[in-house]
A and B are shown apart, each in its own frame.
Chain A
Amino acid sequence: MQATETTSVKPKKLKRERPNHTNYTATAILAVLAIFAILGPLYLTVVIALKDPSQMNNVLAWPSKINWSNFKDAWEMTDFPTKFLNTLFITVVNIVFTIITNSFVAYAITRYRSHSKLFNGLYYYLVSAMFIPFNVIMLPLVKQVSMFHMDNVFGITILYIIFGLPMNTFLYAGFVKQIPIALEEAAIMDGATPLQVFFKVVFPIMKPMHATVAILSFMWTWNDFLMPLVLLSNPKQQTLQLAQYVFQGQFSTNYNLAFASYMLVLAPVLLMYIFFQRYIIAGVTSGAVK
């Protein structure tokens, strides 16, 4: 999105910010730091996951014989397929429904705020709910969710869609304000109903913000630990993150098995990041800055 403009300008004497020549000192410092601090722990994870316990004397060395069986054992032990499908289901359904429902609510409320006291009130209601962290409602929520038999994958997915509403309303609201109203008015003149106006005219325009919301929702649901921890006690319903915690005791001293299991959880995210890194960064940036 943001191409780094390399403005070629007249010769300068004292420039720290954008000198014409490459700043090798900064490059070196940043590269070394990235390799040690960011890649180091990841390298460690991979190496340990590939070893067997007898090769742990020199932890950091690359294994002489690669031991894939850790992955197989971790796969079976944590019932990875079930947990993966649960997490995938939560993530995908949450993204799709969050985009459809939250964008509509945010649009309706923002657009008609000045015409309707109710919508104006709802706007403040939702935005002020951002100040209520999950931990505050956690205890009573656990009680209530089980009353509705929502302590399962489906229930938690619905909760994610609902709980994203304040933040997403805030994000979409900023975007809606920038959409010229003339487009909608033209559609209304043509006799479109408000829902048609939204889905045919506004919804496609919101695409950049959909991307942002999708990425933020993905990050939230894939990596969330606390909500599954308190809501999903049935092993068949658990998510990947929660499974890592639940099996911590059973991994016991077998770090190799544990790290292989962590790798299995990290890998999908890492793969996705490698391919969509530019869009992800752009999406997160525009979400926070807009």
Chain B
Amino acid sequence: MKFTKLLLSVAGATALTLALAGCGSSSSSSGNGKTTVQFLSTKTENASTYKELIKEFEKKNPKIDVEFSSPTNAATLLKTDLTKGTFPDVVGIGGDATFVAMQDAKVFKDLSKESYVKTVDPTYQKMITSLYSGKGLYAVPYATNASGIIYNKSLFKKAGITKIPTTWDELMADAKTLKSKGITPFGVAFKDSWTTLSPWNQIVGNVIPDSWIKTRLNNKSTFAATHKAALNQWLEPLKYAQKDYMGTSYNDINRDFANGKVAMIINGNYEIPEITKLNKDIDADMFMFPVTNSASDNHVVSGIDVAFGIYNKTKVSSAANKLVAFLMQKSSAEKYTQEQFSFSAIDGVKQTSKLVAGISPEIEKVNVKNYPDHYYPSAFDMSKPLTQSALNASKGMSASQNVKQTLQNIDNTFNTANVKNK
């Protein structure tokens, strides 16, 4: 009997707290008169910078509470939110396939009339508007990234390499030199499949014409017919990678690089803050991935790394707008640019770090190309066939067979994803 009574009283008590708590916490403005703004970032590398900026913002706006999150696998979580019909008030998102899907679902507010947009370089605005049809600016560009090769200067010196490679052949020759000196030339982290995409985008962006993807989407061309050389080139650095490149994660390779165990990583500037976290004195820099053998034909693949979008059904639109305006301020942008080694979309904010000195001029010259994979269908995940291909290579499959098999695989997966759902 006692047991029953105990249970019933606990049940009663919880029901009461449930009823009481239910009133306050689920609504967006909490009981203490504060407005809560949910802010989600799709990147994890910049979390600490955001957190500091948010602290500053909350100090200036004591009535606003910012709930920040930068989850693992943010793209999937955002899509789940779409299905649920709920959405964070402010999103920091890349100009990528996820953004395109969000834009398709019409979740963002047109920000083109906001005052902070005036400070944004029109080139970068175009990078966002080119991703969708129709007028308006549905995400305001904040930071751009630069793909390329992050290299350890001391290791290069140690191997006697004095000149940065500007052609593909030079790059491969340097890799050979490094290897002969007992230094691992490339650090590859294919356990995290997304890292397969950076070299792919840089190669394809440079050797395949931009217009090609349209013919592919209309099934007038195939990867098999056009991407053979690109895939061969993509596989080449694996020969100079550390041994267990399929079992190494993004975090592992950052640590190895920070500890001077590998000389180069083919990825982008967003990786640098992760490395400096582990070794703030590292003597490193970036250079453009020399994809072709004609130095002047090589471009940096660059895109919008962060753009801010505001949910069009947000209940806290003025607070959300205040937050975005604060982040877009010159001082905030300068802090972000400095800490994240990124390139600002905001006029007058310059990137001066020596860790990206080798690539900054190219970005300033706008010698850039777009990410090809942003135009692939959203159900198509290029990283899967690429990881499979790298796995084949690690097992010793001949390049010709691997290329043939992989391109076929890419075409098949592309076709099944390229279903018009309209």
Interface residues of A (CB under 8 A from B): 92-93, 96-97, 99-100, 139, 142-143, 145-147, 149, 151-152, 154, 199-200, 203-204, 207, 210, 230, 233-236, 245-250, 252-253
Query: Nearest residue in A to B71 (C-beta to C-beta)?
Result: A246
Q: Which residues of B contact A230 (CB under 8 A)?
A: 80
Q: Which residues of A contact B73 (CB under 8 A)?
A: 245
Question: Is there an interface contact between A146 and B7, defined as CB atoms closer than 8 Å?
Answer: no
Query: Nearest residue in B to A140 (C-beta to C-beta)?
Result: B83
Comparing B123-131, B250-258, B348-356, B386-394, the segment that makes contact with chain A is B250-258
Q: Which residues of B contact A142 (CB under 8 A)?
A: 80, 83-84
Question: Is there an interface contact between A245 and B1, defined as CB atoms closer than 8 Å?
Answer: no
Cβ contact of B26, chosen from A143, A146, A154, A248, cutoff 8 A: A154
Q: How far is the CB of A83 from chain B (nearest CB, A)?
A: 12
Q: Which residues of B contact A210 (CB under 8 A)?
A: 3
Within 8 A of A (CB), among B102-154: none
Interface string of B34-72 (1 = CB under 8 A from A): 000010000010010000000000000000000111111
Q: How far is the CB of B75 from chain A (nearest CB, A)?
A: 12
Q: How far is the CB of B310 from chain A (nearest CB, A)?
A: 17
Question: Is there an interface contact between B80 and A246, defined as CB atoms closer than 8 Å?
Answer: no
Interface residues of B (CB under 8 A from A): 1, 3-4, 7-8, 10-11, 14, 18, 21-22, 25-26, 38, 44, 47, 67-73, 77, 80-81, 83-86, 88, 251-252, 254-255, 274, 277-278
Question: Is there an interface contact between B14 and A146, defined as CB atoms closer than 8 Å?
Answer: no
Alpha-carbon separation in the docked complex, A31 to B21 (Å): 49
Alpha-carbon separation in the docked complex, A10 to B304 (Å): 83
Q: Which residues of A contact B21 (CB under 8 A)?
A: 154
Given known contacts A247-B72, A249-B72, A92 and B83 CB-to-CB distance under 8 angstroms = no
Q: Which residues of B contact A250 (CB under 8 A)?
A: 44, 47, 70
Most B CB within 10 A of own CB, among A146, A200, A236, A249: A249
Query: Nearest residue in A to B252 (C-beta to C-beta)?
Result: A253
Alpha-carbon separation in the docked complex, A27 to B359 (Å): 65
3 smallest beta-carbon distances between A and B, as pairs = A249-B44, A146-B84, A249-B72
Alpha-carbon separation in the docked complex, A246 to B73 (Å): 8
Q: How far is the CB of B311 from chain A (nearest CB, A)?
A: 13
Given known contacts A204-B1, A253-B255, A246 and B84 CB-to-CB distance under 8 angstroms = no
Given known contacts A234-B38, A249-B70, A151 and B86 CB-to-CB distance under 8 angstroms = yes
Cβ contact of B83, chosen from A143, A154, A236, cutoff 8 A: A143
Question: Is there an interface contact between A235 and B252, defined as CB atoms closer than 8 Å?
Answer: no
- 11 more A-B contacts (CB under 8 A) besides A143-B83, A199-B4, A248-B72? A96-B14, A142-B83, A143-B85, A146-B86, A152-B25, A200-B1, A233-B77, A246-B71, A253-B251, A253-B277, A253-B278
Alpha-carbon separation in the docked complex, A204 to B5 (Å): 10
Question: Is there an interface contact between B84 and A145, defined as CB atoms closer than 8 Å?
Answer: yes
Query: Nearest residue in A to B12 (C-beta to C-beta)?
Result: A96
Query: Nearest residue in A to B21 (C-beta to C-beta)?
Result: A154
23 A-B pairs with CB atoms under 8 Å apart are: A96-B10, A99-B7, A100-B7, A142-B84, A146-B83, A146-B86, A149-B26, A152-B25, A199-B4, A200-B4, A203-B4, A204-B1, A207-B3, A233-B84, A233-B88, A245-B71, A245-B72, A250-B47, A252-B251, A252-B274, A252-B277, A253-B254, A253-B274
Query: Nearest residue in A to B249 (C-beta to C-beta)?
Result: A253
Query: Nearest residue in A to B13 (C-beta to C-beta)?
Result: A96
Alpha-carbon separation in the docked complex, A204 to B3 (Å): 7
Alpha-carbon separation in the docked complex, A25 to B86 (Å): 60
Given known contacts A230-B80, A252-B251, A152 and B8 CB-to-CB distance under 8 angstroms = no
Q: Which residues of B contact A149 (CB under 8 A)?
A: 26
Q: How far is the CB of A144 from chain B (nearest CB, A)?
A: 9
Given known contacts A207-B3, A233-B86, A235-B67, A100 and B80 CB-to-CB distance under 8 angstroms = no
Q: Which residues of B contact A236 (CB under 8 A)?
A: 25, 67
Given known contacts A99-B7, A233-B80, A93 and B251 CB-to-CB distance under 8 angstroms = no
Alpha-carbon separation in the docked complex, A115 to B277 (Å): 71
Alpha-carbon separation in the docked complex, A147 to B86 (Å): 9
Question: Is there an interface contact between A146 and B85, defined as CB atoms closer than 8 Å?
Answer: yes
Given known contacts A146-B85, A252-B274, A96 and B77 CB-to-CB distance under 8 angstroms = no
Alpha-carbon separation in the docked complex, A236 to B68 (Å): 10
Alpha-carbon separation in the docked complex, A215 to B83 (Å): 33
Q: Which residues of B contact A143 (CB under 8 A)?
A: 83-85
Query: Nearest residue in A to B36 (C-beta to C-beta)?
Result: A236
Alpha-carbon separation in the docked complex, A204 to B7 (Å): 11
Query: Nearest residue in A to B85 (C-beta to C-beta)?
Result: A146
Question: Is there an interface contact between A96 and B7, defined as CB atoms closer than 8 Å?
Answer: yes
Query: Nearest residue in A to B76 (C-beta to C-beta)?
Result: A229
Question: Is there an interface contact between B72 and A246, defined as CB atoms closer than 8 Å?
Answer: yes
Q: How far is the CB of A92 from chain B (nearest CB, A)?
A: 7
Alpha-carbon separation in the docked complex, A154 to B18 (Å): 8
Most B CB within 10 A of own CB, among A96, A97, A236: A96
Q: Which residues of B contact A152 (CB under 8 A)?
A: 25-26
